[in-house]
């Protein structure tokens, strides 16, 4: 049984023992499912948002990064028009005829997502035929690290390798995933999650004109810190309206500035027009969210400069300011529809108590907000103490010390 070579595993994972065992098990399960030893191996990571909270939908900038949790797959073409996918831990396999994709119902979970991706590949002028895949993931679901985008980018890497001779670029990957979520899941997703999972490493994303990216070179370890993601628990309220209100309210203010998205204007123009806006605008929160957009976009620029200069102290200060802005101006740290449930603000407060005691680090809401996940940047020497501290208030399994991964969605040579 051949698995990815050890030098490649060392390059991608930083070790070979655990990763070799994962791919050996993956290969065994593929053989059991499909009675074939012909397979190729693929990997796609989850992602973290570092700074640029809720800016992408208004043409702003984001610094995001892939993380060292990934989805892996063994796959091979099957000389048919049938795509067959087995995901570890799920009894029901996905089976889709690529010539009959329009017959797959929408909003029916993974089968709909895969159908949407197949449809997007066809609509965008790329090639696809039948293949079999067995997939296993370490990317935690419902924890703000984009398990769905990781899955999508993994499939894109397979489709690109088997049927398109590497002609798909990362932006095509991302748009295929976005199309599937928008049209087959009714999820108004942007491109940030998919781009971060596809490209790999830290990247600066700019959504002012479609989407463009620039690779950055840093890890929090460079400055003596560690990224820790804390899953505070899924909120019980339906948050879809609160998520959609953020871009809608920002665009309402943009319209008053004579543009369609806030990125097409600036803070100075908003301040000049603010007296007349206040006269007839009944949505003060929309104004505050516009304040957040302009200051947050500027923070992304500042963070990019700090990274280029190797200034870790400045970077942490910027991330702390970003978190405060999300809490006070963007107001996505708790849900108004269930205002007594405030897990994000509770664990941000608990984390701040810890960080003040050790006099180092910062924390902020992670991703969309309203419920779920926070991000902490903790000094390496304090990570274990932080995990033990939070474990007094929550299950330790919901605390994830992570690292930024260098590679995005990749085919792993044997």
What is the per-residue pLDDT across 361-373, written as a single tens digit (0 to 9) for each? 999 999 888 888 9
Does domain 6-217+406-412 correspond to CATH entry 3.30.230.10?
Answer: yes
pLDDT reported for residue 144: 60
Query: Is it the case that residue 3 has pLDDT exceeding 90?
Result: no
pLDDT reported for residue 21: 95
pLDDT reported for residue 195: 95
pLDDT reported for residue 143: 57
pLDDT reported for residue 244: 84
Q: Are 134 and 33 in contact (CB under 8 A)?
A: yes
Give the mean pLDDT of the chain.
93
pLDDT reported for residue 187: 77
Query: Is it the case that residue 235 has pLDDT exceeding 90?
Result: no
Residue 116 Cα distances to 71, 86, 325, angstroms: 19, 17, 36
Instruction: Place 142 in a pLDDT band, splitting at 50, 70 and 90.
Output: low
What is the per-residue pLDDT across 277-292, written as a single tens digit (0 to 9) for each? 999 888 999 999 999 9
Range of weakest confidence among 88-97, 144-153, 217-226, 308-317: 144-153
What is the per-residue pLDDT across 335-351, written as a single tens digit (0 to 9) for each? 888 889 899 999 999 99
Query: Is it the case that residue 238 has pLDDT exceeding 80?
Result: no
């Amino acid at each position: 049984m051949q698995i990815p070579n050890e030098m490649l595993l060392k390059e991608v994972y930083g070790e070979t023992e655990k990763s070799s065992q994962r791919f050996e098990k993956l290969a065994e399960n593929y053989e059991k499912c499909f009675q074939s030893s012909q397979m190729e191996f693929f990997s796609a990571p989850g992602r973290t948002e570092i700074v640029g909270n809720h800016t992408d939908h208004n043409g702003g900038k984001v610094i995001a990064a892939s993380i060292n949790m990934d989805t892996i797959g063994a796959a091979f073409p099957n000389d048919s028009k049938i795509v067959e996918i087995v995901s570890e831990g799920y009894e029901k396999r996905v089976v889709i005829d690529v010539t009959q994709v329009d017959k797959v119902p929408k909003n029916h979970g993974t089968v709909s997502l895969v159908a949407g991706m197949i449809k997007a590949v066809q609509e965008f002028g790329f090639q696809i035929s039948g293949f079999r895949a067995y997939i296993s993931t370490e990317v935690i679901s419902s924890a703000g690290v984009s398990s769905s985008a990781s899955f999508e980018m993994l499939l894109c890497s397979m489709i690109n390798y088997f049927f398109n001779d590497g002609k798909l670029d990362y932006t095509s990957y991302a748009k295929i995933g976005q199309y599937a979520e928008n049209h087959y899941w009714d999820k108004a997703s942007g491109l940030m999650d998919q781009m971060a999972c596809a490209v790999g490493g830290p990247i600066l994303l700019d959504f002012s004109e479609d989407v463009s990216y620039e690779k950055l070179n840093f890890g929090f370890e460079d400055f003596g810190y560690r990224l820790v993601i804390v899953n505070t628990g899924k909120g019980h309220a339906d948050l879809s309206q609160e998520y959609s209100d953020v871009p809608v309210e920002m665009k309402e203010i943009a319209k008053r500035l004579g543009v369609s998205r806030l990125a097409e204007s600036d803070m100075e123009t908003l301040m000049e027009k603010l007296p007349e806006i206040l006269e007839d605008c009944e949505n003060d929160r929309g104004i505050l969210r516009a304040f957040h957009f302009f200051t947050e976009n500027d923070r992304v620029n500042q963070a990019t400069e700090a990274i280029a200069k190797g200034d870790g102290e400045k970077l942490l200060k910027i991330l702390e300011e970003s978190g405060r802005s999300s809490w006070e101006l963007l107001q996505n740290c708790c849900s108004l529809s269930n205002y007594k449930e405030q897990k994000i603000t509770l664990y941000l407060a608990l984390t701040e108590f810890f960080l003040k005691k050790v006099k180092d680090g910062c924390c902020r809401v992670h991703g969309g907000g309203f419920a779920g996940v926070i991000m902490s940047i903790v000094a390496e020497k304090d990570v274990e103490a932080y995990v033990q501290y939070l474990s007094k208030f929550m299950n330790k399994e919901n605390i994830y010390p992570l690292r930024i991964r260098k590679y995005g969605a990749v085919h792993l040579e044997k």
